[in-house]
């Protein structure tokens, strides 16, 4: 007696549309997460390389590296003797004014990282250091390339 009926539903199939599958209501985010992780790694590797914006040929040294601090000012002197605070060029004679804007009187001056081209005259570097000292910047670090050679 019911030999022709083998499934429930009276012989009707559960197909929807022409493809035979129900539409998927979820989004697969795994490929997006993979791409984001790769981009994160790329930016983590590239970020330290983008810190120094002013091209300076630093001298070699065998000194140990110092730790970076959160609030520090980077001053660069290029081969022509032009002065930059971070990546902004400072007009001639305006260094003291710019330093006063960075650390107003009454506040503790942040540490200074001084990057000077090795082709510069020593007197030019010392003059900038003297200006920093007069402006109240007492912590000055000189940046060099690390060298594994013995003197």
pLDDT digits (tens, 9 = 90+) for 13-22: 555 556 677 7
Residue that has been written with the tokens 């804007």 in this structure: 101
d(C-alpha 126, C-alpha 68), whole Å = 23
pLDDT digits (tens, 9 = 90+) for 89-128: 988 888 888 888 887 666 788 888 888 888 888 888 899 9
Q: How far is CA 140 from the centre of its chain?
A: 22
**CATH number of this structure's domain 60-146:** 3.30.420.270
Q: Domain ranges in the chain? A: 60-146
pLDDT digits (tens, 9 = 90+) for 37-56: 999 999 888 877 666 566 66
Structure tokens at 107: 């506040």
Q: How many CB atoms lie within 10 A of CB 144?
A: 16
d(C-alpha 116, C-alpha 83), whole Å = 9
Phi and psi, residue 143, nearest 5°? -95, 135
What is the pTM for the complete model shown?
A: 0.55
Q: What is the pLDDT confidence band of residue 135, given thresholds at 50, 70 and 90?
A: confident
């Amino acid at each position: 007696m019911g030999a022709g009926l083998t499934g429930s539903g009276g012989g009707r199939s559960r197909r929807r549309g022409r493809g035979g599958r129900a539409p998927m209501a979820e989004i697969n985010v795994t490929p997006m997460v993979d791409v984001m992780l790769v981009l994160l790694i790329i930016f983590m590797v590239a970020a330290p390389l983008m810190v120094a914006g002013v091209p300076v040929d630093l001298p070699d040294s065998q000194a140990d590296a110092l730790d970076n601090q959160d609030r520090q000012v980077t001053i660069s002197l290029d081969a022509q003797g032009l002065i930059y605070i971070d990546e902004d060029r400072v007009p001639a004679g305006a260094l003291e004014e710019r330093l006063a804007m960075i650390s107003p009187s009454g506040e503790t001056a942040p540490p200074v990282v001084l990057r000077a081209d090795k082709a510069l005259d020593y007197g030019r570097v010392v003059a900038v250091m003297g200006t920093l000292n007069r402006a109240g910047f007492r912590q000055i670090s000189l940046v060099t390339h690390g060298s594994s050679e013995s003197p």
